[in-house]
Amino acid sequence: MSAIDGARRYFAAWNARDPGRLAASFRPGGTYEDPNTAGPVGVELLRAYASGLWSAFPDLDFEEVSCRASGSSEVTIVWIMRGTNLGSLRGLPPTGARIALPGVDLVTVRDDGIERVQGFFDRATLMEQLGLMSVVQPRAVGPVRFGVCTQVRSDSPAEPGAVVLTMIEARNDDEVQRIRDVSRRIMLRLPALPGFLSFQGAVVGHRLTTVTVWESTDAARQVMRDANHKEASADMFAAEVGGAFSSSVWTLERMGDLHVRCPGCGHLRDARRSNVCGCGADPGARPAFW
């Protein structure tokens, strides 16, 4: 088997979306790596990684742009990965977007199969094609640390009556991802719960913080019955996830005015008491408190 034949056999396994064929294209001890794997991984981890991609892109297909051999064992393949995002990718909900991601694989082939695959592609391009934000920022500058934030709102005009604050300190990046996956499932169910107003979750380093606003403490208790929330609690108390956590419920002491600027005259009014301005301009819908 020539090096080019071995490399094309490997790509045919990807396009067949067959984990058995994919594993069989490697020799014992063969490895795979790309920008998402954080270094070389063995065949079993590659099977799981590929299965995740096939689930996220059920129609995934690699188009060969060029294929060149360098010596007797090295092959460089330029490709375009095409597919439609119809399943979850790394815990994110599917966007339905169609991608055409260019990339390059350096493949080392021996007589008994592939020894090594080094894949290269631009993760920012993948995120942009999926319609996702790609944010470039430092992890920290002096005492300031940076992270990401997520929000879900019901757009209810009701006044808040209770705030739930939760903090989880993960022990490593894998735990951060696991906690975020469960949190996404929880927050996507929140808008259907009566009395839910808003959710904001932030990840800074290994610390995850959530602020959930409800109409009342009774409304806040509903989330405790959610299956995903029960799963997260069980994982925490079974010492499987997290190094520290805290959750508390805060009730309202004082509700301040909701100042809204009139689009007509520029006057500020308290929209809690009146949604009409004296100038007669259409004030539009009253904004949500949270």
Dihedral class, residue 8 (left if φ above 0, else alpha if ψ from -120 to 50, else beta): alpha
pLDDT of residue 239: 67
Give per-residue pLDDT as tens, 139-158: 889 998 888 888 999 988 88
Give per-residue pLDDT as tens, 37-93: 989 999 999 999 999 999 999 999 999 999 999 888 999 999 999 999 999 887 778
Q: Which residues of the chain are in CATH 3.30.70.100 domains?
A: 148-251
Of 286, 236, 239, 224, residue with least CA distance to 260: 286
Q: Which residues of the chain are in CATH 3.10.450.50 domains?
A: 3-129
Query: Which CATH fold topology does 148-251 show?
Result: Alpha-Beta Plaits (3.30.70)
CATH 3.30.565.10 is the classification of domain 3-129:
no
